[in-house]
Structure formats: C-alpha cells, structure tokens
Amino acid sequence: MIRVLVVDDSAVVRQVISNELSQFDDIEVVGSAMDPFVARDKIAQLKPDVITLDIEMPRMDGLSFLAKLMQHFPLPVVIVSSQAAENSENAIRALSLGAIEIVNKPGSQFSAPDVKGELVRAVRTAALAKVTARTERPADKERSVVHRALETTHKIIAIGASTGGTTAIEDVLNGFPANAPGTVIVQHMPAGFTTAFANRLNQSCKVQVREAENGDSVVPGVALIAPGNRHILLQRTGANYSVVVKDGPAVNFHKPSVDVLFQSVAKSAGSNALGIILTGMGKDGAKGMLEMHNSGARTIAQDEASCIVFGMPKEAIQIGAVKDIIPLREITRSIF
C-alpha cells in the first residue's frame, strides 16, 4: 500500500486529489496539508511513502519546502502544480532538487481522467524510487575530464532516460568536452518543459545544449533534446546527420520515445554510434538499444546502485542489449 500525503493550499484540489487517488486499491491517502508547515508536522506523524506537492503556497513556497525536505528528510515527491506549466524553470528546478515526477494541474477543470492517469502513474513511480538526501547543485563549468582523441567526426551519442533522468543527464553532459560527438537525447518530459531543461543544461555544459527542431544538424559540440510530446529520429544524408522531429502515436506509452530514437540511430549510424540508457521506469529504449547493439554500436546502461529507478536499464540488460554497466559518475569518463 502506498501511503500518500497531499500538500496544496486549495481545499478543493486537496479534496479532488484525495478522492481520486483513494479509488485505487494500492494507494491510501493518509492525510493532507494546506502549507509546508502543516505538512512538516504531518510527515513526522503519518510517515507517508509519497508526497504530492504544489509549488505556489502561502508561508513557504513548494520549492523552498522541497529543498529543505530533500536535505533533512528525503521522501519521494510528485509536483502537482499549474505554475509548473506556466513557469517551466520552476519545474526543472524541482527535478534538480529531487522531485521524482511533475504533473500539470489542470486549470478550472480539474478532471478525474487527468488525476487517474498521469498522477496515479507518477505516484506509483515515485513509490518505487530510491531517494537520498541532496541539495541543489550549482552549475559546474570547471569539471575536469580525461580527454582522448575522437576516432571520427561522424560519431553519434544517443541518450535515453525517464524518472530521475534530468539530474542523470546533467551529470553525464557536464563531463562532455566542447568537441564531444553530436548528441541526441530523449528525456520523458511533458511538452513545455524541455526548452527550460535544455537552457539549464546549456548554462552548465561545455557543449551547446538546446531543444531540437526538425532538420537540425547533429554535429560535434552540440546536444539536442527531444521536445516534449514529439518523437525525434536520427537520419543520415551522405556524411551528415540531422534529426527529424515529428508527431505520432506514443510508443511504450511515451512521446518522445527512447525506442524511436535508438532504432533510428541503429539504422542511420550503426557502429559509429554510442547508446546510453539511464534511470527510468518501464522498458522504453530496451528494444532500440538491442538494435543498436546488433548494429555494432557500443551500448552503456547506468548501474542499479546509482539509478533512481532501475527499470529501463534493467530491461535493456536482461535482453542482452548492453555491453557495459557503469555507475552514473563513471559513464562520461568511460567514453572520453
């Protein structure tokens, strides 16, 4: 049974979330709180497994509370906020502080399907996550890394991640040298959040990081992040690589899908590619990584100990798609 504490300044929202979550046999709403100060006392009293948290609240905003919580009493947190959609920088900061998932709060129509779908999935994912004490990390442009000459300018790196992936991707990319191979990334994230995520990474990384647009060239020194709610594929024309950004049905319940990216990389880049699968719930990316492996690409999975959720890497390992299993902090060093 997943014990949930609902934290939101709106009594209506607290009631709706509580009612909808309580309809599921594996979830019990053990209490609610109107602000972080009440939440603090109820956490100690009720010992919830997961907290749903609004960002905009009286007396202390949700991000300040999240920072304190993750430093002194870390728990899995799902952000449920309309402000996250309006200010995606706040959403990205929440993930950096340790939030497991972010769910958009509908406006005036707080619909049951929205709660039953995205929020329930997020709560279940959060309940499985490994959470440790942490503080927000400053941008680190001075991180040193061992360099070696790249074998060819036509190398491609493809990265896929889901739950916990925003900080994992940041760890990996922060070690990339300025002339790192062209990189394409899928992070499971709703539309509207990926621009802020890319901008945040661009401030701390030596490579240029930006949200991908259809037709963008994949060149050394640039990392492209798939836009939320759009698939991204790699294509090759002669010696040049570019991306296709397009709509389409969800794959493995996700759009963008890691499988879609990895399968296109296997086809277009073959042995010139390197695939990295990071922390995340589910199996998205496993089959695509197997295709990359079979095409001659080197394939890396984040190890279980350093994953927030050892789902996607585990699935890829189990089907024989992975060559190397490496702790998160050692992945970049193993490449360059």
Sign of CA dihedral 171, 175, 177, 181: negative
Among 77, 30, 22, 86, residue whose Cα is nearest residue 56: 86
Report in angstroms the alpha-carbon separations of 205 from 2, 73, 120, 210. Answer: 38, 30, 34, 11
Q: Which of 32, 284, 295, 306 is catalytic?
A: 284
Active site residue 162: yes
Residue tagged active-site, from 88, 171, 188, 295: 188
214-219 LR contacts (CB < 8 Å, sep 24+): 214/243, 214/244, 214/245, 214/246, 215/242, 215/243, 215/244, 216/242, 216/243, 216/245, 217/182, 217/241, 217/242, 218/156, 218/182, 218/183, 218/184, 218/242, 218/243, 219/182
Residue linked to tokens 């992975």: 322
CA distance 314 to 261: 19
3-state secondary structure 101-133: EEEECCCCCCCHHHHHHHHHHHHHHHHHCCCCC
d(CA 216, CA 263): 19
Which region, left, alpha or beta, applies to residue 235 given φ > 0 means left and ψ of -120 to 50 means alpha? Answer: beta
Tokens of 217: 């060239």
Residue 203 has phi, psi (to 5 degrees) of -75, -25
Give catalytic status of residue 216 as yes or no. no
**Count of CB atoms situated within 10 Å of the CB of 322:** 26
Give me 74's structure tokens. Answer: 């870390």
Judge whether 188 counts as a catalytic residue: yes
Active-site residue, selected from the candidate residues 32, 81, 96, 162: 162
Residues 37 and 35: their CA atoms lie apart, in Å, by: 6
The residues carrying an active-site annotation are 162, 188, 284
